[in-house]
């Protein structure tokens, strides 16, 4: 048995021991499809609506627990935590079922009402008294610039045959350090950070915005109100009509009281460019380091979104630097495989 097999066996035994310790043993455990993270989820069909979450990062599970309880206390739908072992990173959580936005849209559901519900949920969260009063770090300058550094580390080396990209990496970070200085100071709302169709689930029996189930928010921080709206409307995995996108932005702004719309839109475009730069790096890392080659199919879309966001944000120097050092980067279809 190789090391990887031995580790899987140890993980399985740890899960069995945890379930036994909380009196939920002796049931079928069904692994659910994975995502870009190292977390794993297992459905326990014989025990009602329960999911076993296995997260090797105990810090992530602590944040998940903190944010889940906070969201639930505000009337939003986050999975309740029924039991957990902090040291093992194992937890028993509420199962919201399979009606994710991704699955519903793939089956032909009307996208407009789903997205409207998501936008209404965000605006309600951002307007809720005390919603940002939670002990989480700020989405600060260091975090934002560390994330865009993934582009020169991973995407640039995938897109270029140059041996030395150090000059590009240095200039890239210098330009982004300046570009993110203002938006990095925002401490406006709880930012869920991965607010997109894979992590939203329709709970039809719940009223109002509680019908929008929220998943995968353990990376939450305190930052700009524009981030999560941008994340769901400029999705790395799914195209959204530009007219619908514009309507949804207006819908959000109508529900926010006293919002500085010009500043909000400036933040929206800057953060869109920042997120797309990060995702270009992450998707190449997932493919080249972790063997998840399916993520390369999204590179053309993310590159298009990145190019458009750079233009909308007025980041002409970043665009010029990309064109100089990575010619053809904005149309990666020829080298995604």
pLDDT per residue as tens digits for the range 156-182: 999 998 888 999 999 999 999 999 999
Whether residue 119 sits in one domain with residue 259: yes
Rounded Cα distance, 164 and 302, in Å: 24
Cα torsion angle, 240, 260, 199, 216, sign = positive
Note down the domain range covering 65: 3-94
Q: What is the pTM of this model?
A: 0.90
Among residues 72, 94, 116, which one ends one of the domains? 94
| Domain count across the chain | 2
Confidence of residue 131 (pLDDT cuts 50, 70, 90): very high
User: pLDDT of 303-331, one tens digit each?
Assistant: 999 999 999 999 999 999 999 999 999 98
Whether residue 107 sits in one domain with residue 70: no
CATH of the domain at 89: 3.30.200.20
Q: Give Cα 52 distance to the centre of its chain.
A: 21
Residues 6+ apart with CB under 8 A from 187: 132, 138, 222, 223
**Strands 189-191, 81-85: pairing kind:** unpaired
Three-state DSSP state, 270? helix
Pick the residue with more confidence: 89 or 257? 257
Residues 6+ apart with CB under 8 A from 50: 24, 43, 44, 82, 92, 93, 94, 95
Whether residue 318 sits in one domain with residue 253: yes
How many percent of the chain have pLDDT more than 90? Answer: 70
CATH of the domain at 214: 3.90.1200.10
- Which of 91, 67, 96 is CA-nearest to residue 81? 91
Pick the residue with more confidence: 315 or 31? 315
């Amino acid at each position: 048995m190789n090391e990887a097999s031995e580790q899987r066996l140890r993980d399985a035994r740890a899960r069995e021991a945890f379930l036994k310790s909380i009196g939920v043993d002796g049931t079928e455990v069904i692994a659910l499809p994975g995502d870009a993270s190292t977390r794993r989820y297992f459905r326990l069909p014989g025990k009602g609506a329960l999911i076993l979450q296995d997260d090797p990062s105990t810090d992530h599970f602590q944040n998940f627990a903190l944010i889940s309880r906070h969201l639930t206390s505000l009337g939003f739908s986050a999975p309740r935590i029924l039991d957990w072992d902090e040291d093992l990173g194992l937890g028993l959580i509420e199962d919201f079922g399979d009606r994710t936005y991704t699955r519903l849209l793939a089956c032909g559901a009307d996208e407009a009402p789903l997205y409207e519900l998501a936008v209404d949920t965000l605006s309600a969260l951002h307007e809720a008294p005390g919603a940002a009063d939670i002990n989480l770090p700020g989405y600060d300058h260091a975090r934002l610039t560390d994330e865009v550094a993934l582009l020169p580390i991973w995407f640039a080396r995938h897109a270029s045959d140059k041996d030395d990209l150090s000059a590009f990496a240095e200039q890239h970070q210098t330009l982004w350090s300046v570009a993110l200085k203002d938006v990095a100071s925002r401490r406006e709302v709880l930012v869920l950070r991965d607010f997109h169709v894979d992590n939203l689930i329709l709970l039809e029996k719940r009223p109002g915005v509680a019908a929008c189930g929220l998943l995968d928010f353990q990376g939450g921080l305190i930052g700009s109100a524009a981030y999560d709206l941008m994340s769901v409307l400029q999705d790395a995995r799914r195209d959204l009509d530009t007219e619908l996108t514009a309507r949804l932005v207006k819908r959000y702004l109508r529900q926010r009281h006293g919002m500085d719309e010009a500043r909000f839109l400036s933040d929206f475009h800057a953060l869109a460019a920042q997120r797309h730069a990060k995702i270009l790096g992450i998707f190449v890392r997932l493919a080249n380091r972790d063997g998840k080659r399916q993520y390369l199919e999204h590179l053309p879309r993310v590159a298009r979104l990145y190019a458009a966001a750079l233009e909308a944000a007025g980041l002409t120097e970043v665009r010029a630097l990309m064109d100089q050092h990575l010619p053809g980067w904005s149309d990666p279809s020829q080298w995604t495989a």
